[in-house]
Copies of this chain bind each other. A is one copy, B any other.
Amino acid sequence: MNNLVSIKSATLSEDIAQQLSNAIVQGDIPQGSKISEPELAKQYGVSRGPLREAIVKLEGLGLVTRTANVGARVIQLNTQDMLDTFSMREALEGMAARLAATSMPRNEVNRLYALLDKHQAYLDDNQDEHYVQQGGNDDFHLRIIHASGNAKLVRLLTEELYAVIRMYRRHTADQRSDPRQALREHRAILDAIANHEGDLAELLMRRHISRASHLLKQAMELSSLASQ
């Protein structure tokens, strides 16, 4: 019964929430599908108590919607919601870049330049195939967010919104073309931060995300994944 990856956490509910979140983001539980409490409880080998707690958490993350006396459903990605989410990202990560420009320590700036060099080398070696940054420490955006020094902002972006954002990345086959362009934009943002130009850093970050949003929109409208 106990499922494959069981990262022993302090409490069952946390474990289940983590696993369910991953399962949804990666599409193992398909979009729009119903979440059956008895079924999942049996599948994960726990009772319905902790499972329900996990579902409530997922609702807070916006990964499922719940209706009283009916149950929970996995969200259905669509273009409008994506655009809405990315508008929020634009505002929030723009603010993060602005803050980072005044508070990022010099050595972290250097580490980020090194990271971008690494990304560059990867593109050179893998004929421009997109770098797989699955939310780890190699994710440029996460590093900027953390450098903002705003704990609330970090929590919101990395714990509450990131699951959905990763879902959009994942399910559009990440075909937002031209990773070299994205890399150039990252470098420009970092330059602005290194020079403590908060206004410019915010502007560049917003353009960068706005552009990604446009590309994603085109991809979703062409792809059957969006309307399916």
A residues contacting B by CB (< 8 A) are 10-11, 14, 49, 52-53, 56-57, 60-62, 68-69, 80-81, 84-85, 87-88, 90-92, 94-95, 99, 150-153, 155-156, 160
- Chain B's closest residue to A150 (CB) is B84
10 residue pairs of the A-B complex, CB under 8 angstroms, read A10-B68, A52-B53, A56-B56, A56-B57, A60-B160, A84-B150, A85-B152, A87-B153, A88-B92, A91-B91
At the interface, is chain A mostly helix, strand, loop or mixed? helix
Please tell me which one of the listed residues B10, B53, B62, B68 contacts residue A14 in the complex, with CB atoms under 8 A apart: B68
Is the pair B153, A88 in contact by a Cβ cutoff of 8 Å? yes
Residues of B within 8 A of A152 (CB): 62, 81, 84-85, 87-88
Residues of B within 8 A of A53 (CB): 52-53, 56
Copies of this chain in its oligomeric complex: 2
Interface centre among A11, A49, A56 (most CB of B within 10 A): A56
Please tell me which one of the listed residues B60, B80, B156, B160 contacts residue A57 in the complex, with CB atoms under 8 A apart: B60
Known: A68-B10, A68-B11, A68-B14. A99 touches B81 (CB 8 A): no
Is the pair A87, B56 in contact by a Cβ cutoff of 8 Å? no
Q: How far is the CB of A62 from chain B (nearest CB, A)?
A: 8
Task: Known A-B contacts: A81-B151, A84-B153, A85-B152. Give 17 more (CB < 8 A).
Answer: A49-B49, A52-B53, A53-B53, A53-B56, A60-B160, A62-B152, A62-B155, A80-B151, A84-B152, A87-B95, A87-B99, A87-B152, A88-B95, A91-B91, A91-B92, A91-B94, A92-B92
